[in-house]
Amino acid sequence: MEGDAGVLTAKVRAFRALHERGCFVIPNPWDAGGARLLERIGFKALATTSSGLAWSLGRRDTETPLDETLANLRAIAGAVGIPVNADFEGGFAIEPADVAANVARAVGTGVAGLSIEDSTGDAAEPLFEFALAVERVRAARRAIDASGTGVLLTGRSEGFIAGRSDLTETIRRLTAYAEAGAECLYAPGLRSMADIAAVVNAVAPRPVNVLVGAAFTTVAELAAAGVRRISVGGALARTAWGAFLGAAQEIAARGTFGGFASAVSFSELDASLGRLDFPA
Protein backbone atom coordinates (compact mmCIF):
# COMPACT_ATOMS: atom_id res chain seq x y z
CA MET A 1 0.00 0.00 0.00
CA GLU A 2 1.30 3.42 -0.95
CA GLY A 3 1.58 6.25 1.56
CA ASP A 4 2.04 6.39 5.31
CA ALA A 5 -0.07 3.60 6.79
CA GLY A 6 -0.29 5.31 10.18
CA VAL A 7 -1.78 8.50 8.78
CA LEU A 8 -4.11 6.54 6.52
CA THR A 9 -5.40 4.46 9.40
CA ALA A 10 -6.10 7.55 11.50
CA LYS A 11 -7.97 9.20 8.66
CA VAL A 12 -10.03 6.11 7.91
CA ARG A 13 -10.98 5.77 11.55
CA ALA A 14 -11.94 9.45 11.74
CA PHE A 15 -14.01 9.15 8.56
CA ARG A 16 -15.86 6.12 9.81
CA ALA A 17 -16.61 7.86 13.11
CA LEU A 18 -18.20 10.79 11.24
CA HIS A 19 -20.70 8.38 9.70
CA GLU A 20 -21.85 6.99 13.02
CA ARG A 21 -24.00 9.91 14.20
CA GLY A 22 -25.05 13.45 13.36
CA CYS A 23 -24.68 15.16 9.98
CA PHE A 24 -21.50 16.52 8.40
CA VAL A 25 -20.55 18.33 5.19
CA ILE A 26 -17.76 17.18 2.88
CA PRO A 27 -17.05 20.03 0.43
CA ASN A 28 -15.35 19.07 -2.82
CA PRO A 29 -12.01 20.66 -3.73
CA TRP A 30 -10.31 19.81 -7.00
CA ASP A 31 -6.71 20.52 -6.00
CA ALA A 32 -4.41 20.46 -2.98
CA GLY A 33 -4.58 24.20 -2.36
CA GLY A 34 -8.35 24.25 -2.19
CA ALA A 35 -8.29 21.20 0.06
CA ARG A 36 -5.98 22.89 2.54
CA LEU A 37 -8.07 26.07 2.62
CA LEU A 38 -11.23 24.05 3.31
CA GLU A 39 -9.46 22.22 6.11
CA ARG A 40 -8.42 25.54 7.67
CA ILE A 41 -12.04 26.72 7.56
CA GLY A 42 -12.84 23.82 9.84
CA PHE A 43 -14.42 21.06 7.76
CA LYS A 44 -13.85 17.60 9.22
CA ALA A 45 -13.60 15.75 5.91
CA LEU A 46 -13.44 16.45 2.19
CA ALA A 47 -14.38 14.73 -1.07
CA THR A 48 -12.83 15.05 -4.49
CA THR A 49 -14.84 16.09 -7.55
CA SER A 50 -14.43 14.50 -10.97
CA SER A 51 -16.05 17.49 -12.68
CA GLY A 52 -13.96 20.07 -10.83
CA LEU A 53 -10.77 18.20 -11.70
CA ALA A 54 -11.77 17.75 -15.34
CA TRP A 55 -12.61 21.45 -15.81
CA SER A 56 -9.29 22.49 -14.27
CA LEU A 57 -7.56 20.33 -16.90
CA GLY A 58 -9.61 21.68 -19.81
CA ARG A 59 -11.75 18.55 -20.11
CA ARG A 60 -15.39 17.60 -19.70
CA ASP A 61 -16.50 15.63 -16.67
CA THR A 62 -15.59 11.90 -16.81
CA GLU A 63 -12.83 12.56 -19.37
CA THR A 64 -9.91 12.48 -16.92
CA PRO A 65 -7.88 9.26 -17.28
CA LEU A 66 -7.41 6.91 -14.36
CA ASP A 67 -3.73 7.70 -13.77
CA GLU A 68 -4.40 11.44 -13.57
CA THR A 69 -7.32 10.84 -11.23
CA LEU A 70 -5.15 8.71 -8.97
CA ALA A 71 -2.49 11.43 -8.93
CA ASN A 72 -5.16 13.97 -7.94
CA LEU A 73 -6.40 11.72 -5.14
CA ARG A 74 -2.87 11.30 -3.86
CA ALA A 75 -2.18 15.04 -3.99
CA ILE A 76 -5.36 16.04 -2.17
CA ALA A 77 -5.23 13.28 0.44
CA GLY A 78 -1.58 14.08 1.09
CA ALA A 79 -2.18 17.81 1.46
CA VAL A 80 -4.55 17.64 4.43
CA GLY A 81 -4.73 16.02 7.83
CA ILE A 82 -8.44 15.19 7.52
CA PRO A 83 -10.13 12.30 5.68
CA VAL A 84 -10.78 12.53 1.94
CA ASN A 85 -13.46 10.62 0.06
CA ALA A 86 -12.66 9.78 -3.57
CA ASP A 87 -15.11 10.52 -6.34
CA PHE A 88 -14.04 7.41 -8.24
CA GLU A 89 -16.75 7.72 -10.88
CA GLY A 90 -17.69 4.27 -12.22
CA GLY A 91 -14.41 2.69 -11.22
CA PHE A 92 -12.90 3.52 -14.64
CA ALA A 93 -14.07 0.16 -15.97
CA ILE A 94 -17.15 -1.82 -16.85
CA GLU A 95 -16.39 -5.38 -15.80
CA PRO A 96 -16.36 -6.08 -12.06
CA ALA A 97 -12.86 -7.57 -12.09
CA ASP A 98 -11.49 -4.42 -13.71
CA VAL A 99 -13.37 -2.21 -11.24
CA ALA A 100 -11.79 -4.22 -8.42
CA ALA A 101 -8.30 -3.79 -9.87
CA ASN A 102 -8.75 -0.02 -10.13
CA VAL A 103 -10.22 0.25 -6.64
CA ALA A 104 -7.18 -1.62 -5.33
CA ARG A 105 -5.02 1.15 -6.82
CA ALA A 106 -7.24 3.93 -5.48
CA VAL A 107 -7.18 2.78 -1.86
CA GLY A 108 -3.39 3.09 -1.95
CA THR A 109 -3.52 6.85 -2.52
CA GLY A 110 -4.37 7.76 1.06
CA VAL A 111 -8.12 8.30 0.66
CA ALA A 112 -10.40 7.31 3.53
CA GLY A 113 -13.49 6.65 1.41
CA LEU A 114 -14.40 5.85 -2.17
CA SER A 115 -17.59 5.84 -4.24
CA ILE A 116 -18.66 3.70 -7.18
CA GLU A 117 -21.51 4.85 -9.41
CA ASP A 118 -23.77 3.03 -11.85
CA SER A 119 -23.84 5.53 -14.73
CA THR A 120 -22.75 4.25 -18.13
CA GLY A 121 -22.35 7.55 -19.98
CA ASP A 122 -24.67 6.20 -22.70
CA ALA A 123 -27.78 8.36 -23.11
CA ALA A 124 -29.76 5.41 -24.49
CA GLU A 125 -28.90 3.15 -21.52
CA PRO A 126 -27.69 5.55 -18.83
CA LEU A 127 -27.46 3.00 -16.01
CA PHE A 128 -25.68 -0.32 -15.89
CA GLU A 129 -28.00 -3.31 -15.95
CA PHE A 130 -29.09 -4.05 -12.39
CA ALA A 131 -27.21 -7.31 -11.80
CA LEU A 132 -24.00 -5.93 -13.30
CA ALA A 133 -24.29 -2.73 -11.27
CA VAL A 134 -24.63 -4.74 -8.05
CA GLU A 135 -21.71 -6.98 -8.93
CA ARG A 136 -19.51 -3.93 -9.61
CA VAL A 137 -20.18 -2.70 -6.06
CA ARG A 138 -19.52 -6.18 -4.70
CA ALA A 139 -16.20 -6.28 -6.58
CA ALA A 140 -15.20 -2.92 -5.08
CA ARG A 141 -16.07 -4.28 -1.64
CA ARG A 142 -13.86 -7.32 -2.17
CA ALA A 143 -10.96 -5.16 -3.32
CA ILE A 144 -11.21 -2.92 -0.27
CA ASP A 145 -11.45 -5.90 2.07
CA ALA A 146 -8.41 -7.48 0.43
CA SER A 147 -6.43 -4.26 0.89
CA GLY A 148 -6.98 -4.21 4.64
CA THR A 149 -7.27 -0.42 4.55
CA GLY A 150 -10.80 -0.11 5.91
CA VAL A 151 -11.62 2.51 3.28
CA LEU A 152 -15.35 3.30 3.46
CA LEU A 153 -17.32 2.31 0.34
CA THR A 154 -20.17 4.46 -0.98
CA GLY A 155 -22.62 3.08 -3.54
CA ARG A 156 -24.08 5.68 -5.91
CA SER A 157 -27.14 5.38 -8.13
CA GLU A 158 -27.18 8.09 -10.79
CA GLY A 159 -30.72 7.84 -12.13
CA PHE A 160 -31.82 11.31 -11.01
CA ILE A 161 -28.96 12.98 -12.91
CA ALA A 162 -28.94 10.56 -15.85
CA GLY A 163 -32.49 10.91 -17.10
CA ARG A 164 -34.00 8.06 -15.05
CA SER A 165 -35.74 9.87 -12.19
CA ASP A 166 -37.44 6.81 -10.78
CA LEU A 167 -37.44 6.79 -6.98
CA THR A 168 -38.56 3.16 -6.72
CA GLU A 169 -35.73 1.98 -8.98
CA THR A 170 -33.23 4.22 -7.20
CA ILE A 171 -34.18 2.74 -3.85
CA ARG A 172 -34.04 -0.78 -5.29
CA ARG A 173 -30.51 -0.15 -6.47
CA LEU A 174 -29.29 1.56 -3.30
CA THR A 175 -30.71 -1.23 -1.16
CA ALA A 176 -28.96 -3.82 -3.32
CA TYR A 177 -25.68 -1.86 -3.16
CA ALA A 178 -25.95 -1.86 0.63
CA GLU A 179 -26.43 -5.63 0.59
CA ALA A 180 -23.40 -5.90 -1.72
CA GLY A 181 -21.21 -4.09 0.80
CA ALA A 182 -21.68 -0.35 0.31
CA GLU A 183 -21.52 1.32 3.71
CA CYS A 184 -22.93 4.70 2.62
CA LEU A 185 -25.59 5.26 -0.05
CA TYR A 186 -25.85 8.19 -2.42
CA ALA A 187 -28.34 9.22 -5.14
CA PRO A 188 -27.19 12.56 -6.57
CA GLY A 189 -29.97 14.73 -7.97
CA LEU A 190 -32.55 14.21 -5.24
CA ARG A 191 -34.19 17.57 -4.47
CA SER A 192 -37.48 16.69 -2.81
CA MET A 193 -37.29 16.30 0.96
CA ALA A 194 -39.90 13.55 0.67
CA ASP A 195 -37.68 11.63 -1.75
CA ILE A 196 -34.64 12.16 0.45
CA ALA A 197 -36.51 10.93 3.52
CA ALA A 198 -37.72 7.89 1.58
CA VAL A 199 -34.14 6.96 0.69
CA VAL A 200 -32.95 7.51 4.26
CA ASN A 201 -35.70 5.25 5.59
CA ALA A 202 -35.21 2.59 2.93
CA VAL A 203 -31.50 2.01 3.58
CA ALA A 204 -31.47 2.66 7.34
CA PRO A 205 -29.37 2.26 9.39
CA ARG A 206 -26.81 2.83 6.63
CA PRO A 207 -25.84 6.51 6.27
CA VAL A 208 -27.00 8.51 3.26
CA ASN A 209 -25.10 11.21 1.35
CA VAL A 210 -27.07 14.01 -0.31
CA LEU A 211 -25.67 16.26 -3.03
CA VAL A 212 -26.40 19.99 -2.67
CA GLY A 213 -25.49 22.00 -5.75
CA ALA A 214 -27.99 24.83 -5.28
CA ALA A 215 -29.71 26.63 -2.41
CA PHE A 216 -32.71 24.29 -2.19
CA THR A 217 -32.14 23.21 1.40
CA THR A 218 -29.96 23.70 4.47
CA VAL A 219 -27.72 21.52 6.60
CA ALA A 220 -30.27 21.74 9.42
CA GLU A 221 -33.12 20.54 7.18
CA LEU A 222 -31.14 17.62 5.84
CA ALA A 223 -29.97 16.66 9.31
CA ALA A 224 -33.59 16.68 10.50
CA ALA A 225 -34.45 14.29 7.63
CA GLY A 226 -31.82 11.84 8.86
CA VAL A 227 -29.14 12.60 6.26
CA ARG A 228 -25.69 11.78 7.60
CA ARG A 229 -23.41 13.29 4.94
CA ILE A 230 -23.69 16.25 2.55
CA SER A 231 -21.43 16.90 -0.44
CA VAL A 232 -21.46 19.71 -3.00
CA GLY A 233 -19.95 18.01 -6.03
CA GLY A 234 -18.76 20.51 -8.63
CA ALA A 235 -20.65 23.44 -7.10
CA LEU A 236 -17.59 25.08 -5.52
CA ALA A 237 -15.74 24.69 -8.82
CA ARG A 238 -18.67 26.24 -10.70
CA THR A 239 -18.74 29.10 -8.21
CA ALA A 240 -15.02 29.71 -8.71
CA TRP A 241 -15.36 29.56 -12.49
CA GLY A 242 -18.30 31.96 -12.30
CA ALA A 243 -16.17 34.57 -10.53
CA PHE A 244 -13.26 33.94 -12.91
CA LEU A 245 -15.38 34.28 -16.04
CA GLY A 246 -17.28 37.28 -14.70
CA ALA A 247 -14.08 39.21 -14.01
CA ALA A 248 -12.49 38.19 -17.31
CA GLN A 249 -15.59 39.10 -19.33
CA GLU A 250 -15.76 42.50 -17.62
CA ILE A 251 -12.15 43.21 -18.61
CA ALA A 252 -12.73 42.06 -22.18
CA ALA A 253 -16.02 43.90 -22.66
CA ARG A 254 -15.55 47.09 -20.65
CA GLY A 255 -11.89 47.41 -19.85
CA THR A 256 -12.68 47.68 -16.12
CA PHE A 257 -11.55 45.58 -13.18
CA GLY A 258 -14.45 45.64 -10.73
CA GLY A 259 -14.56 41.87 -10.56
CA PHE A 260 -11.38 41.90 -8.52
CA ALA A 261 -13.15 43.59 -5.60
CA SER A 262 -14.21 40.30 -4.03
CA ALA A 263 -10.86 38.59 -4.56
CA VAL A 264 -9.04 37.11 -1.59
CA SER A 265 -5.89 39.07 -0.80
CA PHE A 266 -2.49 37.83 -1.93
CA SER A 267 -1.17 37.89 1.64
CA GLU A 268 -4.12 35.89 3.01
CA LEU A 269 -3.70 33.12 0.48
CA ASP A 270 0.07 33.08 0.87
CA ALA A 271 -0.24 32.84 4.65
CA SER A 272 -2.91 30.15 4.49
CA LEU A 273 -0.97 27.90 2.14
CA GLY A 274 2.28 27.60 4.01
CA ARG A 275 4.22 24.45 4.82
CA LEU A 276 2.40 21.30 5.85
CA ASP A 277 2.07 20.91 9.61
CA PHE A 278 1.37 17.17 9.64
CA PRO A 279 3.22 14.12 8.30
CA ALA A 280 3.26 13.97 4.49
In three-state secondary structure terms, 174 is: helix
pLDDT band at 3 (very low <50, low <70, confident <90, very high): very low
Q: Give per-residue pLDDT as tens, 36-70.
A: 999 999 999 999 999 999 999 999 999 999 999 99
Residue 59 CA to residue 26 CA, distance in Å, equals: 24
Residues in the chain: 280
Per-residue confidence (pLDDT) for residue 126, from 0 to 100: 97
Q: Give per-residue pLDDT as tens, 120-129.
A: 999 999 999 9
Lowest average pLDDT, out of 8-12, 84-88, 92-96, 225-229, goes to 8-12
Per-residue confidence (pLDDT) for residue 280, from 0 to 100: 39
Sheet strands side by side (includes 229-231): 24-26, 229-231, 208-211, 184-186, 152-156, 113-117, 84-87, 46-47
Query: What's the rounded mean pLDDT across residues 188-214?
Result: 98
Q: Give per-residue pLDDT as tens, 77-116.
A: 999 999 999 999 999 999 999 999 999 999 999 999 999 9
Residues ≥6 apart with Cβ < 8 Å to 214: 235
pTM of the prediction? 0.94
Per-residue confidence (pLDDT) for residue 279, from 0 to 100: 43
Residue 206 CA from chain centroid, whole number: 17
227 or 280: which leads in pLDDT: 227
Q: CATH for 5-234, among 3.20.20.60, 1.10.3720.10, 3.30.1360.120, 2.70.98.60?
A: 3.20.20.60
- 2 has pLDDT over 70: no
Residue 115 CA to residue 100 CA, distance in Å, equals: 12
User: DSSP H helical segments within 148-262, as ranges?
Assistant: 167-179, 193-203, 219-224, 235-254
- 246 has pLDDT over 50: yes
Per-residue confidence (pLDDT) for residue 8, from 0 to 100: 55
Instruction: Please report, as a single letter, which amino acid is at residue 132.
Output: L
Look at strands 229-231 and 24-26 and give their pairing: parallel
**145 touches 39 (CB < 8 A):** no
Per-residue confidence (pLDDT) for residue 274, from 0 to 100: 74
Residue 128 CA to residue 157 CA, distance in Å, equals: 10
- 276 has pLDDT over 80: no
Residues of the chain with pLDDT > 70, as a percent, come to 95
Q: How does the average pLDDT of the chain come out, rounded?
A: 95
Instruction: Please report, as a single letter, which amino acid is at residue 238.
Output: R
- 278 has pLDDT over 80: no
Look at strands 208-211 and 152-156 and give their pairing: unpaired
At residue 177, what are phi and psi to the nearest 5 degrees? Answer: -65, -35
Q: Give per-residue pLDDT as tens, 171-188.
A: 999 999 999 999 999 999
pLDDT band at 221 (very low <50, low <70, confident <90, very high): very high
Query: What's the rounded mean pLDDT across residues 249-257?
Result: 98
Residue 161 CA to residue 225 CA, distance in Å, equals: 21
**1 touches 8 (CB < 8 A):** yes
